[in-house]
Structures are given as structure tokens and as C-alpha cells.
Amino acid sequence: MTRARGGKHCETTALGVLLRHEGVELSEPMLFGLGAGLSFIYWDGKGLDFPFLGGRVKPFELTRTLADRLGLELDVRETASADKAWRNVTGALDAGRPVGLQLDSYHLEYFTSKVHFGGHVVAIEGYDAERARLVDTEQQGGAVTTGLASLAAARAERGPMTARNRSFTLALRGGLPDLRDVAAPAMAACASAFLHPPIANLGHRGIAKAAGLVPGWLARAERPEIQLPRASRMMELAGTGGALFRNLYRDFLGECADLLDDPGVRTARDRYAEAAAGWTEVAELVGAAGESGEAALLRQAGRLLEELARIEREAMGELARLAA
């Protein structure tokens, strides 16, 4: 089995485990960027006690895109049967292959924050009669364990972003393509989706929409002293709109700038360095507004979000020309 290694983001952490088993060593930013993982969504609606800000594409889309771009064999299993779901996993593990799992982190024993999130991804590397050995993010402990019952509950949970006991493996068939041949299309595809979203909640339009709505969050929240600091922590530590994914994409662009020796990619990298710092400031303002009740802090966050929409739009404009 591979050596457990926790990353910054759950899906790229799991992908790193599966690919290292195949002898493929790529940085976490490279996995995130080649999978065109960067995005943005502002979502509010029935069933949500507070708006959701997402800084990446929807769960598992990154995995599918990465596998397609690198020519990897992606074997995905889904079932409503708990017994079959476990056999899907143990069959691969018993053959010496790690497995990726999409699940609801709420049920995992090592998670101290009990919030339902059905788009969480981990890698499982082994098991015994009572516990499973997982690899999660560095923040969650990297190499961790959870009881088999809790794992089954996490995989079977239904709700937003969940999947039907989804498990998956990756296999390398032949060699990898030259990264210089796949980096530019990956950047161009991500830029196109970001610049031309189908609805106003997504991409740069979503950030601009957030700029107009975040100043009203004190009135939107039933318990702002709890909900705003929680949103701040999620933004900064979990990346649901904050700096985490912007930092990953900045580092991906840095690697690509060296690969391609392209000044436009370097410019985009610099813009995303600015954006990451700006998102950290937005998160701090949101948290402080919740603690103090000062609406002026949210208005300041809104103005900063307007600037971030511009910065990210300009950065993606540099990358969109790579489509040619």
C-alpha cells in the first residue's frame, strides 16, 4: 500500500493516494488544476439555514476530469445495498489496491465538527473486523481510523451532494501524457467555465452576486453570532469560497508557468495570489461581524468581494486565450 499522506483538500488528497499506488507522483496543486477544480458558487434556498459559498466544482467532477485528461482508467461503483457497497471496497483492498470513497463526513468518528457534508472524499487503505484505515486531509489528521459502522453510515447518508455508496479506483494504462500538452487545455477549460457561467450564482458572476448579498447577512442569519463565525471558519479552513482553493490554483499556475514559460500564466498566478489574500480578509471580516454585530464589516467584505470578482475575472481572461 501507499504511504499515507494528508493534503489540503479531501478529493485531491484521496486522488494522491490512489495515484501514488500507480507510481504517479504529482503535486496536489497539479492534481487540482488538471482536474479544473476551481470554481465558485453562491447558493441560498429552502432547506438552508444560511447561504453556502463553494470555491470549487461539484464533488467528483474533478476526479472525472482528471482521469479523462490523464488517460486513467476510472472504475466507479455505486449501489443502494450496504452489503454490496462494502464488497465493492473490500474486493479492491484485498487485491492490494486503495479505494476512494465519497461520503458524509458527519458520521466519521475523527471529525470534531459535526456538520453534514455529503461531498467529502477519503481514501481507504485497509480494514479489520472493527475499523477502517483512511487517509483524509492534513487538517483531519492524515492517517486516521473510524469504526466500520460509522463508515457505513457515512456512505449511506442521503441529502445534498451525497452519492449512493460511491467508491472508485484509478489505474494507469500506459504512460502519462506530457504535462505540457495537458496543462494549457486544463487552464483554458477552467477559465471558460468561470467566465461564462450558465447562471448568475456561478463563477465570477457568483462572486459579484455574493458582493451584493453578504452585506445583508446579519439580517439573513437567525443566530449571527454563531452562523457568521461558522461561515468564516468554513471559508478559510474548508475552502467553501475562501482562500484554500485559490492557494491551490495559484500554486498550480506557478508550476504551469515554469512548464510553459508563459507570461500570461505568470500574470494569472500573481492575480490568484492577490485573490487568496483577499478571501482570507473576507473571511476575517465575516467572522468579526458575527461576533460584534457590526454591519459595516459586512459592507467592507462586500466591497472586497467586488474587487475579487474583478481580479479573478482578469486572471481567467489571461488563461482563456490558451484555448487557441
Residues 165, 185, single domain; the answer is no
What pLDDT score does 181 carry? 96
Within-domain flag for 210: yes
The CATH number linked to 108 is 3.90.70.10
Domain count, the chain: 2
d(CA 257, CA 237): 27
What pLDDT score does 3 carry? 53
Within-domain flag for 2: no
- Predicted TM-score (pTM) of the model is 0.95
d(CA 300, CA 296): 6
d(CA 6, CA 230): 23
**Which runs of consecutive H residues, i.e. helices, occur in the chain?**
10-21, 28-34, 61-70, 82-94, 148-156, 179-195, 203-213, 217-220, 224-233, 243-260, 263-292, 295-320
What pLDDT score does 2 carry? 46
- Domain housing 113: 10-34+72-172
What pLDDT score does 95 carry? 97
- Grid coordinates given for 130: 472493527
Residues near 124 by beta carbon (within 8 Å), at least 6 away in sequence: 89, 93, 98, 99, 100, 101, 132, 133, 134, 135, 151
pLDDT digits (tens, 9 = 90+) for 196-249: 999 999 999 999 999 999 999 999 999 999 999 999 988 887 777 778 999 999
What pLDDT score does 241 carry? 72
The series of mean pLDDT values per 10 residues for the chain, 324 residues long, is 73 97 96 97 87 92 98 98 98 98 97 88 98 95 97 95 96 94 97 97 97 97 95 83 90 97 97 97 97 98 98 98 89
Within-domain flag for 236: yes
- Grid coordinates given for 159: 441529502
Residues 17, 109, single domain; the answer is yes
Residues 128, 220, single domain; the answer is no
